[in-house]
Amino acid sequence: MAFDAATAHVEIGNDYPEIREGVQAVCSRFPTSYWRELDKKDAFPDEFVAAMTEAGYLAALIPEEYGGSGLPLRAGAVILEEIHASGGDAYACHAQMYMMNIILRHGTQAQKDRYLPIIASGELRYQAFGVTEPTTGSDTLKLKTRAVRDGDHYVVNGQKIWTSRALQSDLMTLLVRTTPVDQVQKRTDGLSVLLVDLKQAVGNGLTIKPIDTMVNHHTNEMFYDNLRVPVENLIGEEGKGFRYILDGMNAERILAAAEGLGDARYFIERARKYACEREVFGRPIGANQGVQFPIAKAYAEWKAADMLNRAATALFETGEPCGEDANIAKLMASEAAWNAAEAAMQTFGGFAAASEYDIERKWRSARLARIAPISYNLILAYVGQHVLGMPKSY
C-alpha cells in the first residue's frame, strides 16, 4: 500500500486516532492556499487559532477541573503533528502547550484558578515566552534582564529578542535575573519566572518591535524599561525559575519533535506522489534511484524518529528522567524533516520554487527548526557532555 500522510502513524496501543481525525477535519478547512496567503502577507492565522480553540484542541493538556481535556503530552504531540502533516503550521498556538507545565506544576492555586480556565476557553492567549536575549543567545544562564523588588512589584529592565507572538498574546512567561550572577553559588540560581500581562505592559515599560524573518512567525525584539510586574505574578519561588523552565523544556522538545514528524510526513507524501506522476524522458521520475532513494531514506528516518519520540513521551508521562530521549528525539525529528524537505525540493525540480506548490514555504520552516527552539549543535553538546561525559564547551 502506498504511503499516505493522512494515515502515516504506526498505531501502538491507542495513539489517539479520534484526535488525529478531528484535527485533520479542522485542518481541511484551512488548506495550503490559506497558509500560502498568510505567508505572503506576513499575517497571523487568527481564524485557524479560533477554530482549534473552539474544537478544544488547544486546551487538550489543561486539567478537566479548569475546563480542559486533561490529556497527556502524547495527545498534544499528536495534535501538533497532524497540523504540520496537513501543510499548516502550529507556531501560532503551540507555545501554551509547551508552557502549561510551568503554571500547572509550579504556579500558586490562585494563579491556576485565575488563568487556566480562561486559557482553556481561548479568552486569554498565553503564547509568548521571553527567554532569549540578543547579547547572550544560547548561554541562557548569562541573561541580563533584571527584575528588582520594589514593594509589591518587580521592576524589570533589559532586552529580549525573538519573543514570538508577543503582539498576539495576552500573557507571557518571562525569565529574568532577580539575583546578580556574581552573588549566587550556582549560575542556575537567581533566575525567576514572571507572568506578564502584555496588554497592560505595552506602553507602560514595554516596547515591542517586530522582526522581519524568513518565515511567517511574528517574532519580536522586546525592550523593558522600568516595567512594573506585581509580585503575585511570580511563579514558584524567587531565584528558582531556571528549574521551572528546564521542567518545561523536555515537553517542548517532544512537541517540537512532533511538528518535525508532521513536516516529514507532508514532504514525503508530496514528493512520493509527484515522483510517481511526473514523467520526463518517457518514464516517471520516481523510477530513477537518484529521485527515489532520498525519498525512501527520508521515510526511514521519519519512522526511526517517530519511534524515538514515542519512547521519550512514554518516559515523560511516567515521570522518568527523559532529557536524553527528548533531546535526541527533537534532533532526529528535525533532521528527518529537513532531509525530507530537501528530497521534496529536489524532486519537484523547478516547480519547488513556485510558491503555489507549497514546498518552498514548508522547506523554509523545516530549515528554521534546526535552529529554534534549540539549535542542532546545542543538542549535540548536551548529548556529548551530559550523556557521554565528554569535556564541556559551556
Residues that bind ligand FAD (CB under 6 A): 129-132, 137-138, 162-164, 213, 217, 219, 368, 371-375, 377-378, 381, 393-394
In the complex, minimum distance from the CB of residue 11 to ligand FAD, in angstroms, rounded to a whole number: 33
Q: Which is nearer to ligand FAD, 258 or 343 (CB)?
A: 258
Q: H-type helices in the chain, by residue range?
A: 17-28, 32-41, 46-54, 73-85, 95-106, 109-121, 198-201, 241-277, 289-317, 323-347, 360-368, 376-382
- The DSSP H or E segment spanning 177 is strand 171-177
Residue 279 CB coordination number (10 Å): 11
* Residue recorded with cell 556529548: 384
How far the first Cα of the chain sits from its last, in Å, is 49
In the complex, minimum distance from the CB of residue 271 to ligand FAD, in angstroms, rounded to a whole number: 25
In the complex, minimum distance from the CB of residue 132 to ligand FAD, in angstroms, rounded to a whole number: 3
Q: Which is nearer to ligand FAD, 242 or 274 (CB)?
A: 242
DSSP designation for 3: -
In the complex, minimum distance from the CB of residue 134 to ligand FAD, in angstroms, rounded to a whole number: 8
The three-point CA angle 190-193-199 to 5° equals 140
- The DSSP H or E segment spanning 80 is helix 73-85
Q: Are 374 and 245 in contact (CB under 8 A)?
A: no
In the complex, minimum distance from the CB of residue 172 to ligand FAD, in angstroms, rounded to a whole number: 9
- In three-state secondary structure terms, 378 is helix
Residue 208 CB coordination number (10 Å): 17
Distance CA 83, CA 30 (A): 10
Q: Which is nearer to ligand FAD, 281 or 394 (CB)?
A: 394
In the complex, minimum distance from the CB of residue 389 to ligand FAD, in angstroms, rounded to a whole number: 16
Q: Which is nearer to ligand FAD, 207 or 375 (CB)?
A: 375
User: Residue 2: what are its φ and ψ, rounded to 5°?
Assistant: -70, 155
Distance CA 380, CA 327 (A): 9
Q: Which is nearer to ligand FAD, 99 or 295 (CB)?
A: 99
Q: Which is nearer to ligand FAD, 99 or 329 (CB)?
A: 99
Q: Which residue is nearest to ligand FAD (CB)?
A: 137
In the complex, minimum distance from the CB of residue 94 to ligand FAD, in angstroms, rounded to a whole number: 10
In the complex, minimum distance from the CB of residue 211 to ligand FAD, in angstroms, rounded to a whole number: 8
Q: Which is nearer to ligand FAD, 292 or 327 (CB)?
A: 327
Report the candidate in 335, 342, 254, 328 with the shortest Cα–Cα distance to residue 302. Answer: 335
Q: Which is nearer to ligand FAD, 107 or 130 (CB)?
A: 130
Residue 131 CB coordination number (10 Å): 21
Residue 125 CB coordination number (10 Å): 23
